[in-house]
Structure 1
Amino acid sequence: MDESTNTNIPKWINVDYFKPILKNDGEDYRKITKFTPVAAIGPGENFVSVMLRIHLDLELKDGSKKHKTYVMKTMLEDEAGSDVIERLELFPKELDMYGIFLPAFEKLYKDAGKPVQLAPRCLLTETKGNRMNFVFEDLSVKGYRNVDRIKGLNMDQMSRALQKLAEFHAASVVYYEQHGPYPEKYKFGFVQETDYEHQKELFEMRIIQFKEAMKGWGLKDVDKYFKKLLTFEQCWKCMMKNVRETSRNSFNVLNHADFWSSNVMYTFLENGTVDDVMLLDFQMCKWGSPVEDLIFMITVSAAKDIRIKEYEHFVAIYHERLVECLKVLNYKNPLPKLRDLQMDMYRDNNTFYAMYSVLNHLPLILLPPDKDSTVASFYSPNEDGQRFRRKIYTNPHYKAAMLDILPFYYNRGIFNFTDFDE
């Protein structure tokens, strides 16, 4: 994606700020001759943070020149989405992930003699006043890139992403086995028990435009689906089953919990197949069944031609790598069974990730780049918000996806929301 200088760069992100970062990164330089911060991603590609690419031209002590880049992640300057960010503890979670857990997970593999890198090298995690900041190596320098989120991931890309996810999950389980439970904030992801009024407001806004759009998708037997649409009370019970009933799962891990194509970067071989994979963005991590990540990823990021066709196959691909990694890391408990994971994909306490992904995430993910794609516009009750929600639910890419997804989940009983009335 083209870089842009349209982002309002906070003034404190300057040359002096990056001098100690360069030193810690081992750069032996005489002076910084040029400092250029630009937007790392285009408008409408990130909803809860500012992502910058920092370009630095260095004059080294031997007189030679060097160009250096970093990726910086910091919090939004304005109020857009700040309530969501603060309530869900997104940045405190990510601070722990990069500062404590990811290095520990990678060390588990290193100690086992099978080094694995899960995420980009993090050069700085800090709390600065009310702000939390991160500076990462720039993976694009090594050729890593995202795949088009609208096109979705092909079979090779999905398989490699799920295998990397399995590496992350396996390490998280062994760490839990050795150190005990994760902090309290990892018990919830997109929603927590105090969110009732907030979630009700959001649901009632979104469902209006969703219903309007649904009638125009061309669904066969549309009235059947329309009558079965969930109410907010059903939605809330579905959410709370997920938060409260992790003990019902056959096997639990620390989920990425926002696992989709833009949080995966790839390098490719000359023939177009995947060479390596790296995971990004650990703000939502949550303890629960690994199928939370699987359901979410398959629903929102698998290419249309394989999303339903390979659904169970994706679980098997993940499971095979998960078991391999657990064995490498000398996991002490019984290994998870594939049949149990497949059953977890349909348990009512994991339905949340199917329901929420199609109502909340998929319409945004399938929307072509748009400067109005923000948390604020999606959640706004005013006319602009209504227009924006109408736009995303009638988007042809979303419509095409829902013509497959809605009947599939309905016929599997996953979207039988009257189950939550019991």
Structure 2
Amino acid sequence: MDYAMAQPSSSAIDNKDGSPVTKAYIEDVMKEYEQNDTFMVKNMSSEKALSFGDNCIAEVFRVKVDGEMTKDGKVVEMSKSVIVKKPFRDDKNTPPEMFKFESNVYNKVLDALESVIESKLPVIRSIKAEENVVVTEDFKDGGWALSKRREGLSQEQAAKVIKSLAMFHAASIVLSKSDEIRFKKLSQHVQDQVYSLSNAELCKKTLADSYAVAKNFADEYLPKANEEEAAVIRKFFSQTSDEMYNQAKKATEETPDFAQVFAHGDCWANNFMLKEDNSGDHALLINLATVCLASPARDLVYLFATNPQPVNKTALIQVYVSELHKNLSAHKIPNNIIEQFSVEFIESEVKRLKMVALLTAMWLLVPISYTTYPTVEEYNKLERKDKPQLVAQHIDNEFYLRRLMEVLLENVS
């Protein structure tokens, strides 16, 4: 939440009428998408697709385009809706570095993964991805929607997300085993981990803010807590946020080499879509700015820590391993490699990454709990000690406290 809203500097994208992109820019994008140089935009309208609290690094717009193009000698009219994502800028007009990584993933990594498995991955692909704007297809009209984050995922819905993660991870394992040199080259285009040196200071700052909010709620609840709750509160907050960060970083760095995959890196409710009618057997993964080299359990930990509904995690891990094995077997990966990714191994990785689960919950519990949103400027101008009071005005306090205690009781041993 350290980025102030500002327009990207590219003149092709700047637009004075409040639209996220110019008509000329969208026209160029659609020509490339339709592979037709005759495409012309006749009308264009836009609306916010997400509120600030739904995406803290970018503004997200839904742009509706009415246009026409010449095809087989005939003029064809068409209407299409696309999603335009533009990063917030800091006071030096610099976008988050992760936006650069997102364009790399769309432009380089996904093509390589899909080519090696010779099929499409369950992700929403970009139409155009640059460091100052990402344009993707809009799947809302196809019946896809973000889950309701405070309601969370049922066992069945969580299994669909798990299957999509397994497919994504399997593709990177196939690539790493079939073309290790290419895999290593592509690894340079993603974050080595979310706790990397390149964003360490930002991570520590935002974590310290989240820690202050959580500690404020926990301290207020402590006089009413039972013995077990009081014990985990005191144990957890006996550490500083920097100490927790270092523990999570160390755990991430200790992932065995064979288990390094391209993980989504930020697998919570705002980064995947499910069919509104609950059909289909998988989810769509979106927002790929945080794809990183990590343990496959990293994504499972994020999903478990941010899902308010009680689910059978053991059963979901079994679903994950089954889907992973199925995809690896389909691409002739040797059994001795497949067997390394056993249920027991994934369970041990989830346990090893408990501090990552705790930090994930602290980081994301605030945006999950928002009912209204403070402005970026309003939040950033406050000292850390004053931010818990502002956050408390905008979140579902009862929900936040309940989830905080559930996560602490489950993960603080």
Q: State whether TM-score is above 0.5.
A: yes
Match of 1:342 among 334, 338, 347: 347
Mark the CA change 1:274 to 1:82 in structure 2 (over 3 Å): closer, same or farther: farther
| Equivalent residue letter for 1:214 | A
Mark the CA change 1:206 to 1:290 in structure 2 (over 3 Å): closer, same or farther: same
Residue deviations 1:145-185 (CA, integer Å, cap 9, x gap):
11111111111110011000000000011212212424346
Match of 1:328 among 320, 327, 330: 330
Query: Which region of structure 1 is more displaced relative to structure 2, 258-267 or 382-391?
Result: 382-391
TM-score scaled by length of structure 2: 0.82
Q: Percent identity?
A: 18
Cα separation, 1, equivalents of 2:152 and 2:204: 31
Match of 2:58 among 45, 49, 53: 49
Once the 2 structures are TM-superposed, how far is the Cα of residue 46 of structure 1 from its aligned partner? 1.0
Aligned to 2:47: 38
Once the 2 structures are TM-superposed, how far is the Cα of residue 101 of structure 1 from its aligned partner? 1.3
Query: Which region of structure 1 is more displaced relative to structure 2, 98-107 or 57-66?
Result: 57-66
Mark the CA change 1:203 to 1:120 in structure 2 (over 3 Å): closer, same or farther: closer
Cα separation, 1, equivalents of 2:285 and 2:370: 22
The answer to whether the 8 A contact 2:84-2:134 is kept is: yes
Cα separation, 1, equivalents of 2:289 and 2:320: 22
The aligned runs of 1:171-182 (5 Å cut-off) are 171-177=171-177, 178=179, 179-181=182-184, 182=186
Aligned to 1:142: 142
Aligned to 2:67: 58
| Equivalent residue letter for 1:122 | S
Cα separation, 2, equivalents of 1:205 and 1:237: 16
Mark the CA change 1:207 to 1:97 in structure 2 (over 3 Å): closer, same or farther: closer
Where 1:388 maps in the other structure, the secondary structure is: helix
- Would you say how many aligned residue pairs link Structure 1 and Structure 2? 384
Q: Does 1:305 align with 2:285?
A: no
Once the 2 structures are TM-superposed, how far is the Cα of residue 404 of structure 1 from its aligned partner? 2.3
Q: Does 1:258 align with 2:262?
A: no
Match of 1:103 among 87, 111, 121: 111
The answer to whether the 8 A contact 2:6-2:93 is kept is: no
Once the 2 structures are TM-superposed, how far is the Cα of residue 211 of structure 1 from its aligned partner? 2.2
The aligned runs of 1:267-286 (5 Å cut-off) are 267-269=275-277, 272-274=278-280, 276-286=282-292
Aligned to 1:158: 158
Match of 2:230 among 205, 210, 223: 223
TM-score scaled by length of structure 1: 0.80
Cα separation, 2, equivalents of 1:387 and 1:376: 12
CA RMSD of aligned residues (A): 3.1
Residue deviations 1:115-144 (CA, integer Å, cap 9, x gap):
333222322123xxxx43221111112221
Aligned to 1:406: 408
Residue deviations 1:274-331 (CA, integer Å, cap 9, x gap):
4552110111112121111101111102x4232xxx1222211111101111111222
| Equivalent residue letter for 1:125 | A
Mark the CA change 1:32 to 1:287 in structure 2 (over 3 Å): closer, same or farther: closer
- Please list every run of 5 or more consecutive structure 1 residues that lacks an aligned counterpart in the other structure: 1-5, 414-422
Residue deviations 1:328-387 (CA, integer Å, cap 9, x gap):
12224511111111111112xx2332121121112221322x231659827952676342
- Please list every run of 5 or more consecutive structure 2 residues that lacks an aligned counterpart in the other structure: 8-12
The answer to whether the 8 A contact 1:268-1:275 is kept is: no
Where 1:189 maps in the other structure, the secondary structure is: coil
Aligned to 1:122: 126
| Equivalent residue letter for 2:142 | K
